[in-house]
Structure 1
Amino acid sequence: MYPLFETLCVQDGVIKNSSFHEARFKQAFYKFYGYVPNFNLLDAIEVPKPFNTGIVKLRIDYNQEQTAPKFTFYTPKIINTLKLVYDNHIDYDLKFTHRAPLTQLWQKRGNCDDVLICKNGLITDTYFANILFTKNAKWYTPKTFLLNGTCRQRLLQNKLVESMDISVHNLKKFEGFQLINAMLDFDPLKIIPIGQIKTN
């Protein structure tokens, strides 16, 4: 019924970075349905009073006619280890509600917290997020992402990170990494050691 969705962060009753989500919604809608939507993602959506304090996750499922918003209090997932997995055919260029191919890869994580997906020898994303790598106090993100996340777009636009091809073989050249998405904003002081990516 709702093939696509957006996830937004609400902080103390304020929806964050809404312009980036509206832009991605319009792009995804056009690519999926073939025409420009006649409504906005956040039309008629108000933050309910019980969710006006703290960090809240707003998920909006949508189709060509309507949206279905859902508010939940957010508890961040603790992700410190990644298992490198391989899939040369994985495709997730739109934020689909159907995530079975990604879930199948995530189930290969073993004792790790999440998976880092490699496609055709190049690093893409994790199951939950885009990824940043750091070296010499600079931050980089793979050009070969699966989903062009809104946080990723904002960081690139503000020139806080650079995009580059990152292969499995040059992972060890970096000092560490962090994950980013709508709910996990960039923190230049948060560095998970690169050795926490398990390659076997």
Structure 2
Amino acid sequence: MSEQKLAAEVRTEFGKGYARRARMANLIPAVIYGHGAEPIHITLPAKSTTLAVRVANALLSLDINGEEHLAMVKDIQRDPIKQIIEHLDLLTVRKGEKVTVDVSVHVTGELAPGNVYNQEMNVVSLEAEATHVPTSVEVSIEGRSAGEHIHASDLDLPKGTVLLSDAEALVVNISEALAEAAEEVATEEAAAE
């Protein structure tokens, strides 16, 4: 995942009133914490920040008074109606550092005819280098048939990542389509009569 470069300004005012004024000026209040350092309270430009954090586990390169900080988005508070970003919590990271992230699982491919799949897990926990966090993990169901199961241990993980979720956790369950199963039962009952 590539890092997004943003210019940030240190803020000295706090509270609801300041946060409202900042948002009216198209700025997003944020805080950077981690590695035992004092939290840094900043504001970020609203438009470029909103675009940068559209992906999960976004990595931001922040320019704060000429000093570069590398941070991952830990939490986003949004307005429940307008869905605009109201505040960001950022976690300081270093190049080469390992971080724990939740990554979405995407199913690809087509099943054998007459089968359906049920995705049991939508995200898996991984440990990855902070500057190389995958955006998703793909699992192929191409040509698979009823009765097959795909567990977390069967996922093809990107190089340098380690699975933290339970290896035996069921990710995808493949079964017969119910309509076809009902037709088979009806056909068998008709043959029995």
Query: So what's the TM-score if we normalise by structure 2?
Result: 0.26
Greater share of strand: 2
Rg larger in 1 or in 2? Answer: 2
